[in-house]
Chains A and B, each alone.
Chain A
Amino acid sequence: MSVTILETIPLNKPMDNTTHFGFKDVATDDKQGLVKGVFDSVAGKYDLMNDVLSFGAHRLWKRYTIASSNVKAGDKVLDIAGGTGDLAIEFSKKVGESGQVILSDINAAMLGEGRKNLINQGIFGVDYVQLNAQYLPFESNTFDCVSIAFGLRNVTDKDQALREMHRILKPGGCLLILEFSKTDSELLKKFYDFYSFNVMPKLGGLIADDEDSYQYLAESIRKHPDQETLKDMVLEAGFGFCEYHNLSGGIVALHKGIKT
């Protein structure tokens, strides 16, 4: 049986107070629009920039995520903030014809790039849904696996998004959060700080003609909760188990939550 998409839920609902957009404080209601601006702007060059900025390492981090998912034939998988579709491509190979993969993103331009990539690879079975991670238009207990790679730090209300992910997973379902995190190594930290604040935006300017967006991306990484804090948030959202694995010395971490 295929997944039912419930009637449209607004991509943005009014909220109170302020939140951060990179290092800036902005009205909570404005953040989503600002994030949209960033990804509208980087969509066309996103894949190239990912390869350049991570020296190709993002492919390994994603492969580790897929291998850790324990997804198998027949499973239903939702990739949130899936952008250009790297995870969806691999998930669709794993679930086969009997399974279902949904590639979703709040941003139509990124989703469009994703669709293009999948079609170029001859993958036609994947569904595409434009959605906000905070309001998932699916019935409860639907998915075997929900993933979000390098997306959670852009979401305004992360706790609400995590509760939604918990709701739509089946009991026994698995949540995968791949995201930049905090490294313990002082040396790596120094190099990484220099790289992200001095080199990354400049490269963004040179290659994608968009220094500001890459400055935001670097800042948003620093604002994202560290490994332990995110683990607590996942448990708080209702997951029975959560643990994380550091990759590349903690520059990136994969959190895995299990709904009990």
Chain B
Amino acid sequence: MQHFVLEQALNLLIQNGSIDIKPLESKVIRFTLVDLLPDVNFICTNNRIFVNSDTSTSSDVEIKLRPNVFFALFKGEDLTDLLRQDKIHIHGDVKTAQLLVDLLSTTELDLEELLSQYTGDIVAHEMGKTAKKIKQVVKQSPNPLEALKDGLSELLIQPKVSKKYTNSHH
């Protein structure tokens, strides 16, 4: 389910023109979120990205980052700064890596827009109780969008061990 959310997010960025992946046509990018998510491949093809968990195939370039950096990205920290501070590691075919850096550093993650596109009932169906609790928290929160952002970023990364919704709500 995390892959579904990630794939939706990336393709939305392509469709609304935030990123242009044409230069990465036919490239496979291995994405590692250290200690948290199993590795995934981003398959860039036909002007879209497919997120695939079968990483037995080879990739052109690898991108590796720690969860706190990923969170920082979601919370709006500047990507170029993170790259400059060496917090995101990129290895592999130099040309593809350069294209990827170019792409990432010109990307503006508009999370509000992304979340506004979610089909809530699919997420609710597949994520069951946790998603229902998120809905409750969101309803009760004075700032629903912020609550939704927090909830989804957490679900994206650690749906099972998320403690946030297990006991009483904040």
Contact = CB atoms under 8 A, between A and B. Distances in A.
Given A172-B45, A260-B45, A243 B52 contact: yes
B45 A171 contact: yes
Chain B residues touching A, majority SS: mixed
Contacts of B8: 67
Interface of B: 1, 3-4, 7-8, 11, 15, 25-26, 41, 43, 45-46, 48-50, 52-54, 57, 119, 121-122, 125-126
Contact of A144 (B15, B46, B50, B125): B46
A224 interface: no
Contact of B126 (A144, A171, A247): A247
A178 B43 CA distance: 21
Contact of B7 (A60, A68, A241): A68
Interface string A234-252: 0000001111010110000
B5 to A, nearest CB: 10
For chain A, the bracket of interface size reads 20 to 34
A63 interface: yes
Given A241-B54, A241-B57, A67 B45 contact: no
A242 B122 contact: no
A7 B7 CA distance: 38
* A-B interface, 10 closest residue pairs, ranked by CB to CB distance from nearest: A172-B46, A172-B45, A70-B48, A60-B125, A241-B52, A70-B11, A64-B122, A243-B52, A243-B54, A258-B50
B46 A173 contact: yes
B54 to A, nearest CB: 5
A56 to B, nearest CB: 11
A170 interface: yes
A258 B119 CA distance: 24
Contacts of B3: 245
A67 to B, nearest CB: 6
Contact of A70 (B1, B7, B52, B126): B7
A67 B4 contact: yes
A170 B54 contact: no
